[in-house]
Amino acid sequence: MEETKKCPKCQSTMDFGYVPDFVHGNSCGCLAAWHQGEPEAKTFLGLKTGGLNVKEDGLPLVAYRCPKCSLVEWYAMDVSES
């Protein structure tokens, strides 16, 4: 998905990157993901635990950061292209 993007704030060329997801056992290795709809609360034995369930059908998120003004824009990766 890496493409050239111009910063909407200052018009500089933005850098491509990502933010690792530390949800799964505090280990890095997957991307943060976008999910449609409202998040669902995690439950254990019928009790809410305060966390959120991670859905399997999410779209990986990538981010572009402007090196000049530090604006970050998030994009859901089109997985049909991979």
Give the pLDDT of residue 77.
Answer: 78
Please enumerate in sequence order all residues whose Cβ is within 8 A of that of 52, keeping only pairs 6 or more positions apart, or say none: 39, 40, 41, 42
Residue 20 Cα distances to 32, 51, 57, 62, 75, angstroms: 6, 18, 17, 10, 14
What is the block-wise mean pLDDT of the chain (82 residues), using blocks of 10 residues?
A: 86 90 62 70 65 65 93 84 52
Which tokens belong to 67? 């090196």
Q: By C-alpha distance, which of 60, 59, 70 is closest to 18?
A: 60
pLDDT at 72: 95
